[in-house]
Structure 1
Amino acid sequence: MHPETHLALHHARATELRAEADAYRLAAESRHPRDLRTRLGWALVEVGLRLAATPKAAAAIP
């Protein structure tokens, strides 16, 4: 393959990869609030499970 052709293909592929990286970055930023909501939800589930498990453990200790 001619070196100039190889270089042109390399530049085209690099441009495509940069565009994909930008698209991924934008998608990740828009997904961020949902991640916070998910973490908060699981934290509330964990707290609820701990509260539900506490009375049984306290009743077992005389």
Structure 2
Amino acid sequence: MNNTLKVERAILNLTQDDLAKKIGVSRQTINSIEKNRYVPSTVLALKLSELFEKPVNEFFSLSEND
């Protein structure tokens, strides 16, 4: 899975820690998602969608390997 979470976070001028606190996860979770080491749950993806005010598929997409 590919994502543009880091870009979306930068647009809102949020640190990893800021974003983590807003959606109730650890900074390490945000870091792992940004580095494609962790695939977020549906609930977490929806929280991000709500925060960014964008559909989930605007910042997450399937890669060729998915």
Please classify the TM superposition score into its range, dividing by the shorter chain length.
under 0.3
Bigger radius of gyration among the two = 1
Greater strand content: 2
Which protein, 1 or 2, shows the higher relative CO under an 8 Å CA cutoff with sep ≥ 6? 2
TM-score w.r.t. structure 2 length? 0.20
Greater helix content: 1
